Structure 1
Amino acid sequence: MAEPNGRPDHAFPEAQREGLYRAIFERRDVRAQFRPEPIPPEVLARLLEAAHHAPSVGFMQPWDFLLIDDRAVRERVHAIFERENAKAAEAHTGERGALYRRLKLEGILESPLNLCITCDRSRGGEHVLGRQSIIETDLFSTCLAVQNLWLAARAEGIGVGWVSILDQNELTEVLGLPENVYPLAYLCLGYVDDFHDQPELALAGWRQRLPLAERVHGNGWGEALDAPTLLEALATRETTR
């Protein structure tokens, strides 16, 4: 990795930069291959601290963290998944439907720990700085906490899987959430036997990563990017990943 220009004293040393990018590129949505051993408290504390240091609009910090290791609670959540997944499968027919039904889409019972990251939509009061025009910024902020935790987990060798095939109203009831608290992310955490080289859905043939160079626009949607050096750099990066 080339040394940065501008203010080199603001950049991390090369090895630390490489570690950050490695966590980003090797992060995976883990649904299987969980190991049974628990996450040590000091490691879990580091992950939660990383999540808690996410940026948030108006510094509202709308997140809370529900640690779920009770088997009975997880079985209730798993039952919600089973019902919702059966409904989702009906949208896919033929070979696509057969492939969908083969996919492993959660690790609720296999992982040693489930974690629900919630968003308190009332935190910060009625008028949160920066939220007046875009009310959903509290949800966006909580997503950043999820990403912080996910990247920190990868650096610690811990797999994370986001279970999105859930009825949020039923999940709210199971977890006893207050009316103003939204269950934004239901995650499965644990050490794993291995991390796949590619996202699981790409390996299964469900979808492939889109070319980045085709997703970058100029000064308006669909306008060509007048930056040949950047386009060349983007193309080079894609061929080396």
Structure 2
Amino acid sequence: MVAFDDQFRRQLRELFIWRRDVRRFRTDPLPEGALERLIDIACLSPSVGLSQPWRFVIVEDGARRRAVIDDFKTCNADALASYSGERAARYAALKLSGLEEAPGHLAVFADKASDIGHGLGRATMPETIEYSVVAAICAMWLAARAEGIGLGWVSILTPTRIYESLDVPQSWKFIGYFCVGYPQAEFDRPALERANWEYRRASKEFTIRR
């Protein structure tokens, strides 16, 4: 049995504190094999029934990247129009993607039709397939931060256009699109908190006892 000491646990907590959703990237290329190595770590995550439903698409083609960037710009303009007044001004000032600067683009899907795992554990809660993929993403995010690499989850996108742009099976469920690269600067507070958009609450606000 592997034992982890107090020093390791303190460092692990620091890793969680310093993990950030990065939007401002340097354009330096990632080391060869870096994305593949992070995907290897993600695949160590738990999954319902050992279904391993994650599907990773490394997006390298310039035209496909441009299609994603164009979709983001359209969706972001629509989102801005949904706000007004001071909140609209704050939204307009936010940098919400690093798609044009980040050297790495990664799309992640859940293969809901896969027969790996033989359906174990998901008959009553089929959504655990997607949850398993999100767990893998979290593992990858922390592993990336441990290497000084940042991830930015871009959710301001149209899923149907992602399928068209990346030419992936319609049976896959789109989970997330990520910018991957080295951050311009590192912070121990979320960017949205620093921009006074929202603040992080204490865990007791989300915890009840029964």
Q: Normalised by the size of structure 1, how large is the TM-score?
A: 0.83
Report the equivalent of 1:111: 102
Whether contact under 8 Å (1:172, 1:182) holds in the other structure is: no
Whether contact under 8 Å (2:19, 2:188) holds in the other structure is: no
Determine which of 198, 205, 211 is the counterpart of 2:189.
Answer: 198
Question: 1-side partners of 2:104 and 2:34: how far apart?
Answer: 13
Residues paired across the two proteins, number: 210
Report the equivalent of 1:66: 57
Whether contact under 8 Å (2:53, 2:110) holds in the other structure is: yes
Q: Deviations over 1:85-106 (max 9, x none)?
A: 1111122110001100111000
SS of match in other structure, 2:174: strand
Report the equivalent of 1:19: 11
Within the alignment, does 1:179 sit opposite 2:170 as a pair?
Answer: yes
How large is the RMSD of aligned CA atoms in angstroms? 1.6
One-letter amino acid matched to 2:11:
G
Name structure 1 gaps, 5 residues minimum: 1-8, 220-241
Name structure 2 gaps, 5 residues minimum: none
One-letter amino acid matched to 2:4:
F
Question: 2-side partners of 1:65 and 1:85: how far apart?
Answer: 24
Report the equivalent of 1:94: 85
Q: Percent identity?
A: 40
Whether contact under 8 Å (2:44, 2:136) holds in the other structure is: yes
Question: 2-side partners of 1:10 and 1:67: how far apart?
Answer: 33
SS of match in other structure, 1:41: coil
- Shift of residue 193 of structure 1? 2.5
The structure 1 segments of at least 4 consecutive aligned residues displaced by more than 6 Å after TM superposition are none
Whether contact under 8 Å (2:60, 2:105) holds in the other structure is: yes
Question: 2-side partners of 1:145 and 1:178: how far apart?
Answer: 20
- Shift of residue 16 of structure 1? 2.1
- Shift of residue 11 of structure 1? 4.1
Q: Which structure would you say has the larger Rg?
A: 1
Report the equivalent of 1:169: 160
Within the alignment, does 1:144 sit opposite 2:135 as a pair?
Answer: yes
